[in-house]
Structure 1
Amino acid sequence: FDLITEVGKGVRGADCVHHIRNQFGQECGKIIYESKRTKDFSMEWIEKLKKDMRSTGVDVAVIVTQCYPKGMDCFGEKDGVWICSFDEVKAVSYILRDGIVKLFSAAKTQENRGDKMHMLYDYLTSTEFSEQWKAIREGFMSMKLSIQRERDAMEKMWKAREKQLEKVMLNAAHIRGSIEGIAGTDTIQLSLTDDDETLLID
């Protein structure tokens, strides 16, 4: 949760300090508020609040007033300080808070990105990565060689079976020719398959 601290009376500085925190409890930045209930706006307020801003190390300064400086009729920024009315302060504080949180997150992302790049570089150049990659490569080459050996063995076996099949079909053709020469083709059907196709020898 955010923290708002009130500046005590007699203490130099703004009326209160808004400590902005994200959902992780990290402080993202600070906003100082100073309220003015007068009929006329004084430009000296801006310079004074800017000094308070620098001395306290805050990110944003806001003057909440019931009268605007010349040239302004609603909330806005002037000379590095935000100015708004009492009716607008709630919406303005929400907008400024959201911007500070987003800037903090963006800065953290860039910071972490740099750390991650260094960590990644260190890992990629480490002995651990080198050994792991070597093990992966050796496993890959072993699998590739094993597959190639199996393929070669299967092709050799297929060729041997093709030779055996050719030999069987050749002998079957000789037997069929001999039987047909004796009995004739009308009295007996010989086929190695379920249909009555003629045996073809390549």
Structure 2
Amino acid sequence: NKAKQEVIDETQLLMAQKDKQLEDLRKQLGEAQRKAEQGSQQTQGEVQETFLEDMLRVEFPYDEVKEVPKGVEGADVIQIVKTNSGVKCGTIVWESKNTKAWSQGWVAKLKADQRTLKAEVAVIVSKVLPESVRLFGIVEGVWVADLSVTLGVATALRQQIIQIFNAKAVSANMSSKAEIVYEYLTSNNFKQRIEVWVDYFKQRKEEIDKERAYFVKKWEKEDKSILQIFNNTAGIYGDLQGLIGNALPKVNYLELDGSSVDDETCEDAAEKEPHV
């Protein structure tokens, strides 16, 4: 709980510092604009452009905000959107206008700058907006916003760029994995590995069939040998029984049920038979 509270306190402190910096920038802008009212229109535009740059740097410290030098053709400010880990996600080009009338030519010029820089989004921040736009909107594919809502527009557009970048990264990663799997399944390496397994099972089946045939032959041979030994043993037992009679111990396996009674009857009949 203590660690959590420390993190909350630190976050609140950073937010307070950021709010103060933004408030200071607004005050500086107001003061600069008042001083510039007696100056040229170019000076007034430069004041607003400087405020826009500073506001973007303060609010999005992980992004790279670059000023286009005066006299160089192109947008006024270039904002390279980055994640907290420094991964580039996209680009926003900004044009700052502080004039008494709106010009549709600004849109065409900024769209050309957007194509040149391959930027995802283009925004015109203007003191005067087209009649069809209130506070912010889109004119021919270019975002247009009043200075008072610029921070909110920038936050929303930046978040959208990051989300689209992440979605594309996930999609590209999935496509890449699918292509890798397909290439592996259609490769000679995969074919050879399958052939190794097929050959192994085929060899094992042949070995099992050979072993089965060998043991069947062996069992038949042993069965014949055992039968021969058994027959010989039974023959010897029968010979001895004929010589000795009932004095020979009985081997039940070699006797039939009731055989002993029949033998005694036969012997008694032989003794009673008169001698000639």
TM-score range for the pair, normalised by the shorter chain length:
0.5 to 0.7
1:31 aligns with 2:126: no
Question: Counterpart of 1:63 in 2: which secondary structure?
Answer: strand
Instruction: Write out aligned runs for 1:29-178 (5 A).
Output: 29-124=90-185, 126=190, 130=194
User: What is the rounded CA distance, in whole Å, between the counterparts of 1:34 and 1:108 in structure 2?
Assistant: 29
Deviations 1:85-112 (A, max 9, x none): 1111111111111111111111111111
TM-score (ref. length: structure 2): 0.45
Higher strand share: 1
Gaps of 5+ in 1: 139-202
User: What is the rounded CA distance, in whole Å, between the counterparts of 1:110 and 1:52 in structure 2?
Assistant: 29
Question: Counterpart of 1:87 in 2: which secondary structure?
Answer: helix
Higher helix share: 2
User: How many pairs were matched up?
Assistant: 138
The Cα shift of 1:121 comes to 2.9
Amino acid at match of 1:93: A
User: What is the rounded CA distance, in whole Å, between the counterparts of 1:129 and 1:20 in structure 2?
Assistant: 47
Identify the structure with bigger relative contact order (alpha carbons < 8 Å, sequence gap 6+). 1
1:9 aligns with 2:70: yes
User: What is the rounded CA distance, in whole Å, between the counterparts of 2:154 and 2:192 in structure 1?
Assistant: 51
Q: Percent identity?
A: 37
Does the 8 Å CA contact 1:77/1:83 hold for their aligned counterparts?
yes
TM-score (ref. length: structure 1): 0.61
The Cα shift of 1:3 comes to 0.3
Distance 1:25 1:131, change over 3 A: farther
